[in-house]
Amino acid sequence: MDYSHLLQLDKEEMKRYGYQVIDAIVDHFDTQNEKKPVTQATREEMDTLLDAPVPEKGMAPSEVLDFVVDHVLPHSNIVTHPKSYSFVPGPSNYVSVMADTLATGFNIFSGGWVASPAAAELEIITMNWLLKLFKFPKKKGGGIFTSGGSMANLTALVTARRQRCGDDFSKAVIYMSDQAHSSNIKAIRVLGFKKEQVRIIPTDIEFKMAVNKLKNAIAKDRLEGLQPFCIIASAGTTNTGTVDPLQEIAAICKAEKLWFHVDGAYGGAAMLSKKGSGLLKGIEKADSLTIDPHKWMFQPYEMGCLLVRNHKWLSETFSEKPEYLRDIEGNTSEINFYDHGIQLTRRFRALKFYMSLKTFGLNAFKKAVSYNIDLTERVEGILRKSPHWEVVSPATLAVINFRYNPIKSSLTEKELDALNQEISERVVDSKEALLVTTVLNGQVVLRMCLINPRTTMDDVNETLELCERFAEEITTRSDMV
């Protein structure tokens, strides 16, 4: 029977199709470590492979699926790969992948309580787990799952502005360090602040926001009749994993009556480890906190999260009461998450967090995060013992930056930059590892972010050996000596 005009497959076909999909995913999980993490393709190559007009008539489901498995899915970097060190990897986990499949399969509308009480309840429960982890107020605190850290930062800043400035924000000023993530600047732009309303505070030698300079900037703005209203601190910068001096910034916010937003999208998850929670002291004082479970809490994309000290701040900022939603309003204890953020229709993100924590237990997550922090410290030890490598920023919350700079070399800074850039390019071109550069204090450095619990010391050693081999080839070339 042909059900295609209903956009349906028959039951047996659905099963066959589903098993094929699961087989492809399981096969990927099973073999990903043996694959190469990097893929490269030009627009032209992708056009040649994939570009086609919209088909008027359909084709056999398995044919489309086979094509996608063979020709679409392989053309992405494997961010779950143990040698995927760059940007912020996405280690993910299979249980959450299946949870996402269920949430999509049942197409659960996670906007209003009445439409899906269990989904809202699971979001409340998992949010409470997070509030406890980050030592936020148990009763008053609240939060919302978002698509990622960028949306959580945006949601935080909308809330901060609503609470502190009301409708007139023409004199409001926001402060963040020169290491703050670009999503904060994007959010500020989306919100319609002018460039002059943002102060980028320099960082000190350890890439931490320079508190004295922050205080000076606030004092100067007050003298000029402006309205300092929000400080964005980083709890784990993307570049170096550095945590801003959260306690001191919290004290400034208290004294100056400023909103304290902490961007913990990268490093917040380190709260799961002893070392990490030590470094993150003061995070519990934030008015709003971004964390990003699709990074170091091992969830597949997309899952960010915003926590706030007082859940009412969210409903006061985002509630709208259109007539077409009046029948699903519910009572006040029944949270409508569409009133806590920007999205009305939302996918059921809490499910994957819930199912993976229930399945593996919080201890497994704690062990994984502690392992990552320790592994990065061991990598630092190896680099420091080597005559070839220079550590540019030490292992901090599973990030380390280093460069090839042999002890007796006479290479200039410019040559070192070119050398390290080329090492990275060669590594990426070899597809053996995803290891790209960043720039710290004007120097080109190799950056490793080791948040994958499946990355081993052997993986790192192999990658360093590869880098050294390329470095020797490059430095023995005539234009480099």
Residues in contact with ligand PLP by the rule CB under 6 A: 88, 148-150, 153, 181, 183, 234, 238, 263, 265-266, 292, 304
Return the structure tokens found at 353. 């967090």
C-alpha to C-alpha distance for 154 and 303, rounded to whole angstroms: 14
- The answer for 275, left when phi > 0, alpha when psi is -120 to 50, beta otherwise, is alpha
Return the structure tokens found at 460. 């790192």
For residue 5, count CB atoms less than 10 angstroms from its CB and return exposed for 0-12, middle for 13-18, buried for 19 or more.
exposed
Closer of 76 and 212 to ligand PLP (Cβ): 76
Closer of 69 and 297 to ligand PLP (Cβ): 297
State the nearest-atom distance from the C-beta of 81 to ligand PLP, in Å: 18
Residue 132: other Cβ atoms inside 10 A: 11
State the nearest-atom distance from the C-beta of 145 to ligand PLP, in Å: 12
State the nearest-atom distance from the C-beta of 143 to ligand PLP, in Å: 15
Closer of 238 and 273 to ligand PLP (Cβ): 238
Closer of 266 and 470 to ligand PLP (Cβ): 266
State the nearest-atom distance from the C-beta of 292 to ligand PLP, in Å: 5
State the nearest-atom distance from the C-beta of 126 to ligand PLP, in Å: 18
Going 39 to 40 to 45 to 51, the CA torsion angle's sign is positive
Closer of 292 and 422 to ligand PLP (Cβ): 292
Closer of 182 and 476 to ligand PLP (Cβ): 182
State the nearest-atom distance from the C-beta of 37 to ligand PLP, in Å: 18
State the nearest-atom distance from the C-beta of 306 to ligand PLP, in Å: 11
Please tell me the number of Cα atoms within 13 Å of 322 on its side-chain side: 6
C-alpha to C-alpha distance for 340 and 120, rounded to whole angstroms: 12
DSSP per residue over 59-81, as a string? --HHHHHHHIIIIITTSS--TTS
Closer of 347 and 426 to ligand PLP (Cβ): 347
C-alpha to C-alpha distance for 85 and 37, rounded to whole angstroms: 10
Going 387 to 388 to 394 to 398, the CA torsion angle's sign is negative
What is the spatial order of strands in the sheet that 172-177 belongs to?
142-146, 304-308, 288-291, 259-263, 227-234, 172-177, 198-201
State the nearest-atom distance from the C-beta of 261 to ligand PLP, in Å: 11
Closer of 305 and 471 to ligand PLP (Cβ): 305
3 state DSSP class of 91: coil
State the nearest-atom distance from the C-beta of 359 to ligand PLP, in Å: 23
| CB contact at 8 A, 424 and 436 | yes
Closer of 153 and 163 to ligand PLP (Cβ): 153
State the nearest-atom distance from the C-beta of 96 to ligand PLP, in Å: 15
Alpha carbon of residue 397 to chain centroid: 14
CA dihedral 191, 195, 197, 200 (to 10 degrees): 110
Closer of 238 and 405 to ligand PLP (Cβ): 238
b/e string for 342-359 if b means 16 or more Cβ within 10 A? ebeebbbbbbbbbbbbee
